[in-house]
Amino acid sequence: MGVIERIDREVRFLTGLGRTLWAIREIDSESDVLICDDFERAVDKFADHTAIIFEDERLTYRQIDALANRFAAWADTLGLAPRDTVALLLPNRSEYVPAWAGLAKVGVASALINNNLTGAALTHCLSISGAHHVITDMETAAALDTIRAGLPRELAIWVIDAEGDPGDGRHALDLKTPKQAPERPPRSRRAGLKAGDVALYIYTSGTTGMPKAARITHTRAQLYMRAFSGATHATPEDRLYNVLPLYHSTGGLCAVGAALLNGATMVLRRKFSATHFWDDVAEHECTIFAYIGELCRYLINQPAHAKERAHRLRLIFGNGLRPDIWRDFQTRFNVPRVLEFYGSTEGNVSLFNYDGQPGAIGRVPSYLRGNFAVRLVKFDVESEAPVRNADGLCSECAPGEIGEAVGLIKNDARHSYTGYADKTASEKKVLRDVFAHGDAWFRTGDLMRQDKDGYFYFVDRIGDTFRWKGENVSTTEVAEALSRYAGVAEVNVYGAKVDKLDGRPGMAAITPNERFDIEGLPAFLDRELPPYACPLFVRMQPAIETTGTFKYRKVDLVKEGFDPAKTEHDLFFLNPDTKRYERITPELYRRIQDGAFRL
């Protein structure tokens, strides 16, 4: 890289960093300025500008504030108090952001429940939320009917799009009458609350077990939203295309903040469609797209589209974009700028790749090392623990060396760690005595490497969690579901590698008994697990191999994958077209690897 290129790189990096830091400069956990205050400030500034376009709806900032005020008034009629919690079980729709913003206006926290969950996982998430009320819609409410008996307390179900009395123990949440929208709740309604109080619960798979509820304080929500409002440099002239789920932090806070704190328009869709993507982007004249890497791969794999270069996109931002896809995406679709970032819902480590280095998830140049409290520590993959030296401390990785990323925990907005609702789970993510006795660092659970120029590159997840279709999938959760199926004696779950695909689809090694029937397995898993968690591959084996400490061994299973040439065990593939597990032959194996199926 020549001198001019280096100067240009540093200018772009420092400009992006400066905008981000300026946007978050006033965030303070002791402040009484909450995320709903940020929302109302944007409404007052951009009142009659279009805020959300969703299907055939176009809502101005003034109108989404009116919706938010209705949710606040609903909470008041129920006597909900500050620090109470309401669960939101909704797909992407125009009422989603006004719902949690309106509840925040009266100090009520929202638990954002993944609307794909069913069965035990849904029961668990609702149970740990502490909510006595759940807001849903007619489409999603059906999932609640099958789990009511398993809930530990009475749960009132409120349906926002019900016509009249929805029946079945449900209540209509009327957002249309009276015609006159209620006034904004006065700020005194949330008196005593600080930015350090919980605003949202966002669920993450973590590394083991059922989803965990990450405590998103107003401070943390402000960090997400304000940081991306600065990093993307969006303006009221921008239109941001958002197909990511609003129950996750990337789509629900980062993308929302980039758009709605800047007066931009968010073009919201229920879900991603590779077929309709370019028509949508062109029709709505979108200038920004919030991605996860898999979405970009889906678009690359599509046939040429007449509008794939006839668009106004100036920026795409997100995470998980592979280097090979990155270059092809920019070149083929004529996208000027990519802003890749790294972060976790519950963690305190955040990185931005402001200058567009393909494949990098962020950068900390040597001259700013003291301003960023993120380090890579040497890691023993076999024991799944950081390496300790003779003093009992950790050692930092050299450039190019792979280690676990950790973030120093400090009592300020950028470096605080609020953890999960489960205190035990929170403590497991803290690494102590790292570089000095008595210090504490947040464990990301991610292996990375950093080059001599300060760029960070993601390598892999630690432990049992694998990533598929933009979701972290807990092998323990999947194994627990499978163990409830008749005929499963033992089960070992892991991620399999498929050529040309991002992430790892699930694979289950099953030791069956005489009651096992693979024909009924797809329907069972469809009831018990979200689609992204259902194992794409199944392997039958007479016994599960364990280590000396009785942990299931996965190394050899992962190496062999679903290749019938590498094992004598029966292998099966969940064909997305037939919805049946089909025996994998050498010919079917080649077809899967060649991309013959839409996975």
pLDDT tens track for 321-354: 888 789 999 999 999 999 999 998 888 999 999 9
Average pLDDT, the chain: 91
Give SS3 for 222: helix
Q: What is the DSSP string of 120-143?
A: HHHHHHHHHHT-SEEEE-HHHHHH
**pLDDT at 554 (0 to 100):** 77
Taken in order 32, 35, 36, 40, is the CA torsion positive or negative? positive
Find all residues with CB under 8 Å of 348, minimum gap 6, and list them.
Answer: 373, 407, 408, 409, 414, 415, 416, 417, 442
Helix (H) or strand (E) holding 455: strand 455-461
End-to-end CA distance of the chain: 39
**Cβ contact 134:158 at 8 Å:** yes
**pLDDT at 306 (0 to 100):** 94
**pLDDT at 74 (0 to 100):** 95
Report the CATH superfamily, name and number, of domain 373-461: Luciferase; Domain 3 (2.30.38.10)
How far apart CA 87 and CA 173 sit, in angstroms, is 14
For 465-593, CATH number out of 3.30.300.30, 3.20.20.70, 3.40.50.12500, 2.30.30.100 equals 3.30.300.30
Residue found under tokens 């991620």: 495
User: In sequence order, what are the beta bridge partners of 214?
Assistant: 202, 420
Q: Band the pLDDT of 548: cuts 50, 70, 90.
A: very low
**Cβ contact 151:123 at 8 Å:** yes
Taken in order 482, 488, 489, 494, is the CA torsion positive or negative? negative
Query: Which whole number is the average pLDDT over 424-435?
Result: 92
**Is the backbone of residue 311 left (phi > 0), alpha (psi -120 to 50) or beta?**
beta
Query: Which whole number is the average pLDDT over 183-206?
Result: 90
Q: Cis (ω within 30 of 0) for the bond into 178?
A: yes
How far apart CA 92 and CA 68 sit, in angstroms, is 16
Angle between helices 475-483 and 521-528 (to 10 degrees): 130
In the predicted structure, residue 549 carries a pLDDT above the cut 70: no
In the predicted structure, residue 230 carries a pLDDT above the cut 50: yes
Query: Which whole number is the average pLDDT over 413-427?
Result: 87
Which residues in the chain are classed under CATH 3.40.50.12780? Answer: 31-271
Q: How many residues does the chain have?
A: 599
Name the DSSP class of 366. Answer: G
Query: Which whole number is the average pLDDT over 181-201?
Result: 93
User: In sequence order, what are the beta bridge partners of 450?
Assistant: 456
Query: Which whole number is the average pLDDT over 479-507?
Result: 88
In the predicted structure, residue 284 carries a pLDDT above the cut 70: yes
**Cβ contact 63:51 at 8 Å:** yes
**pLDDT at 205 (0 to 100):** 59
Q: Band the pLDDT of 506: cuts 50, 70, 90.
A: very high
Which residues in the chain are classed under CATH 3.30.300.30? Answer: 465-593
Q: Parallel, antiparallel, or unpaired: how do β-strands 85-88 and 109-112 relate?
A: parallel
How far apart CA 130 and CA 187 sit, in angstroms, is 25
Which residues in the chain are classed under CATH 2.30.38.10? Answer: 373-461
**pLDDT at 208 (0 to 100):** 45
Q: Which of 6-20, 206-220, 272-286 has the lowest mean pLDDT?
A: 206-220
How far apart CA 109 and CA 215 sit, in angstroms, is 10
What is the SS3 string spanning 462-494? Answer: CCCEEEECCEEEEHHHHHHHHHCCCCEEEEEEE
**pLDDT at 546 (0 to 100):** 59
Which tokens belong to 303? 């046939």
Which tokens belong to 238? 């921008």
Longest dimension (CA), the chain: 71
How far apart CA 503 and CA 320 sit, in angstroms, is 9
Burial (CB count <10 Å: 0-12, 13-18, 19+), residue 145: exposed
**Cβ contact 477:533 at 8 Å:** yes
CATH 3.40.50.1980 fits 31-271, yes or no: no
Closest by alpha carbon to 496, among 505, 485, 487, 488?
505
Query: Which whole number is the average pLDDT over 113-137?
Result: 92
Residue type, 367: Y
pLDDT tens track for 360-388: 999 999 999 988 999 999 998 767 889 99
pLDDT tens track for 63-91: 999 999 999 999 999 999 999 999 999 99
**pLDDT at 209 (0 to 100):** 57
Helix (H) or strand (E) holding 352: strand 351-353
**pLDDT at 550 (0 to 100):** 40
Query: Which whole number is the average pLDDT over 402-424?
Result: 89
How far apart CA 243 and CA 269 sit, in angstroms, is 5
pTM over 0.85: no
Taken in order 228, 114, 374, 466, is the CA torsion positive or negative? negative
Query: Which whole number is the average pLDDT over 432-450?
Result: 94
In the predicted structure, residue 551 carries a pLDDT above the cut 60: no
In the predicted structure, residue 217 carries a pLDDT above the cut 90: yes
